Amino acid sequence: MNSRYYVLIMAGGLGTRLWPHSRVERPKQFQDILGIGETLLQTTVKRFHNICPLENIYVVTNQVYGSLVREQLPLFSQEQILLEPFMRNTAPCIAYGGFKIAQKDPGAVILVAPSDHVILYQEAFEQAALTALQAADQYQAIITLGITPTRPDTGYGYINMEEKLLTEGVYKVRTFTEKPNAELAQAFLDSGDYLWNAGIFIWHVQTLINAFYNHLPEMHEVFEIIAPKFYTPEEPHAVHWAYERCRNISIDYGVMEHANNVYVVPCNLGWSDLGTWKSFYEHLPHDNHGNVLIGNVLTYQTFNTLVNSSSPTRLVVTHGLNNYIVVEHDNVLLICHKDHEQEIKQILEDVRKKKGAEFL
């Protein structure tokens, strides 16, 4: 275990595409959504126990979720929980974490990961992560983990890799493509040159800082100004000042699509981002009719359908459904055809305007 290895876990998202299970007050990363006895955040932290010391794992989340993080990760110090004053997407989140870790350890090598992904093959993950960390430490390169695709999924970003090697198992990235249409996704799968973008990034902290300097200079400037305030009582006020001056932009659009030193480690991890009910459905075991049934459920003439009921006292019965998503949670029942699940975000906006915050 290398003491210069750090992990930055992003845990500030709302998980709106998993509504109504994922709610504003308790998004999916803070729930035991798989029914395994621990939340997605807790599972994510456990994933890195063989990668770096526990004190080198940092969590970035919105300040309204600070108490949830402290409750679920009681061994974490206050310094390890980074609180964002408001949402600004992944680029400011990573800048905050990167600049703060740099203040503690200028030689750090950082793995940035989402808090809400599932990885079934732990040993394969550790091997891929260590390959990436070692390469990022040795070379001035940004490394990603690319997942071998198993289907033409339109809900994931894709990485086009070249044959050129940085070192053993690490390939040059040619392009990133965000969520292609079905025809293009099939072409990517058929070519064999594309990987799913897992949203996991590995870099030496100085490479991270240089990437912001080159591609998001205004963001680099504000975090460089406040860096001396980290690990002091002035940190929250300084971070608020910085976030007011940061634009809302993802690390993919802000850095990855422009950098020419991006490489990828192809791997098969049993990975799912659990970003949608369709990916949730595909991840879990199916019955003889292709259904995934969670909770107190009875089905008749129902096929290829996800039924997820969180109420122990309510019986959910379906008849004549094929290829549907049925989710009952708290005060909301969602019934949606799987082919239209990408519209859930718009549905949520309509709920916000027409029905009120109590259903969010």
Strand ranges for 63-193 from DSSP E: 81-84, 109-114, 118-119, 142-147, 158-167, 170-177
Q: Cis peptide leading into 20, omega within 30 of 0?
A: yes
Does residue 323 share a domain with residue 179?
no
Q: How far apart are CA 322 and CA 306, in angstroms?
A: 10
Does residue 303 share a domain with residue 236?
no
Question: How much is the pLDDT for 325?
Answer: 94
User: What is the pTM for the complete model shown?
Assistant: 0.89
Does residue 350 share a domain with residue 217?
no
For the beta carbon of residue 321, count every other beta carbon within 10 angstroms: 19
Question: How much is the pLDDT for 71?
Answer: 95
Does residue 73 share a domain with residue 23?
yes
For the beta carbon of residue 35, count every other beta carbon within 10 angstroms: 10
Question: How much is the pLDDT for 310?
Answer: 82
Write out pLDDT tens, residues 100-120.
999 999 999 999 999 989 899
> What are the tokens at 134?
């070692």
Does residue 134 share a domain with residue 28?
yes
Does residue 330 share a domain with residue 226?
no
**Which residues in the chain land under pLDDT 70?**
none
Domain that holds residue 84: 5-272
Does residue 346 share a domain with residue 329?
yes
**Domain edge (last residue) among 221, 237, 272:** 272
Q: Please state the domain count of the chain.
A: 2
Q: How far apart are CA 162 and CA 140, in angstroms?
A: 18
Does residue 256 share a domain with residue 211?
yes
Which residues is 351 bridged to in the sheet? none
Q: Is 98:205 a contact under the CB 8 Å cutoff?
A: yes
Does residue 325 share a domain with residue 247?
no
Q: How long is the chain? A: 360
Does residue 199 share a domain with residue 323?
no
Does residue 80 share a domain with residue 174?
yes
Q: Which of 293, 267, 269, 271 is nearest to 281 (CA)?
A: 293
Question: How much is the pLDDT for 273?
Answer: 82
Q: Name the phi and psi angles at 224, rounded to 5.
A: -65, -35
Write out pLDDT tens, residues 16-43.
888 888 888 888 899 888 778 899 999 9
Question: How much is the pLDDT for 214?
Answer: 94
Does residue 252 share a domain with residue 125?
yes
